[in-house]
């Protein structure tokens, strides 16, 4: 019984561990917002490595080099808790959603590149053309609208550019 009580005993205290978990959560949240959705929406090997290294570095900062399982459980619960709270608040409070989730960005409009949107999201012409090819599209002129969505995914709407975009049920 002594082993279990030592394993789960709090070394740093509940308030300290909650504070550490909250500070690191919000720091990583803000950093990911600054980094942009494109970096989060597509994880490559290098991105995954950075994520693991950040998690390891943040883990030490959050736990204060604590070896207690109880302290770690509080930090993990705090991080998951913030994630759930943010998700629920964004769903229930539409005004807050604008600050929590980026809006979609137009990359192509009626067969023409939107250079302003491409600059905003740091999307090169080559990357844009790659996405069109992956969607089975051979000509930019075939694209009515192309967006980078709030989750970092690319969506492409094809059709006759002369048709009225107000007819679409996909526009918000």
Q: What is the CA radius of gyration of the chain?
A: 22
Q: Are residues 24 and 90 in the same domain?
A: yes
Are 121 and 148 a contacting pair, CB within 8 Å? yes
Q: Name every residue whose Cβ is closer than 8 Å to that of residue 67 and which is 6 or more positions away in sequence.
A: 11
Domain presence at residue 172: no
Entry pTM:
0.57
Q: Are residues 125 and 94 in the same domain?
A: no
In the chain, pLDDT over 90 holds for what percent of residues? 24
- Tell which of 73, 100, 127 closes a domain: 100
Q: What are phi and psi of 106, to 5 degrees?
A: -75, 125
CATH code: domain of residue 161:
3.30.240.20
Domain presence at residue 133: yes
Q: Are residues 75 and 119 in the same domain?
A: no
Residue numbers of the domain that contains 47: 2-100
- Tell which of 100, 123, 149 closes a domain: 100
- Tell which of 100, 119, 153 closes a domain: 100
Q: Are residues 89 and 121 in the same domain?
A: no
Are 131 and 156 a contacting pair, CB within 8 Å? yes
Q: Are residues 58 and 17 in the same domain?
A: yes
DSSP E strand boundaries for 70-138: 105-109, 112-113
pLDDT, tens only, 3-28: 777 667 777 777 887 887 788 778 77
Answer yes or no: is pLDDT of 69 > 70.
Answer: no
Q: Name every residue whose Cβ is closer than 8 Å to that of residue 51 and which is 6 or more positions away in sequence.
A: 43
Domain presence at residue 35: yes
Domain presence at residue 121: yes
Q: Are residues 27 and 83 in the same domain?
A: yes
Q: Are residues 35 and 111 in the same domain?
A: no
Name the one residue in this structure whose structure tokens are 């694209």.
143
Q: Which two tokens stand for residue 166?
A: 């107000």
pLDDT, tens only, 120-149: 888 999 999 999 999 899 999 999 999 998
pLDDT, tens only, 75-99: 667 776 777 788 788 889 988 887 7
For the chain, the domain total comes to: 2
Q: Which CA distances in Å does 45 have to 33, 36, 39, 50, 65?
A: 20, 18, 12, 9, 28
Q: Are residues 73 and 11 in the same domain?
A: yes
Answer yes or no: is pLDDT of 41 > 70.
Answer: no
Q: Are residues 114 and 71 in the same domain?
A: no
């Amino acid at each position: 019984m002594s082993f279990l009580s030592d394993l789960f005993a709090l070394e740093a205290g509940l308030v300290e561990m909650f504070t550490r978990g909250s500070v690191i959560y919000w720091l990583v949240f803000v950093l990911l917002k600054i980094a942009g959705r494109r970096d989060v929406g597509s994880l490559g090997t290098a991105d995954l490595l950075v994520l693991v290294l950040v998690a390891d570095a943040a883990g030490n900062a959050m736990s204060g080099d604590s070896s207690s399982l109880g302290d770690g459980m509080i930090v993990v619960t705090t991080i998951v808790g913030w994630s759930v709270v943010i998700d629920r608040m964004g769903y229930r409070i539409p005004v807050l959603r604008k600050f929590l989730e980026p809006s979609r960005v137009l990359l192509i409009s009626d067969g023409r590149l939107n250079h302003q949107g491409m600059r905003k999201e740091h999307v090169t012409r080559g990357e844009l053309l790659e996405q069109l090819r992956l969607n089975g599209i051979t000509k930019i002129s075939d694209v009515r609208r192309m967006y980078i969505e709030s989750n970092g995914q690319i969506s492409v709407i094809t059709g006759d550019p002369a048709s009225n975009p107000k007819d679409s049920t996909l526009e918000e």
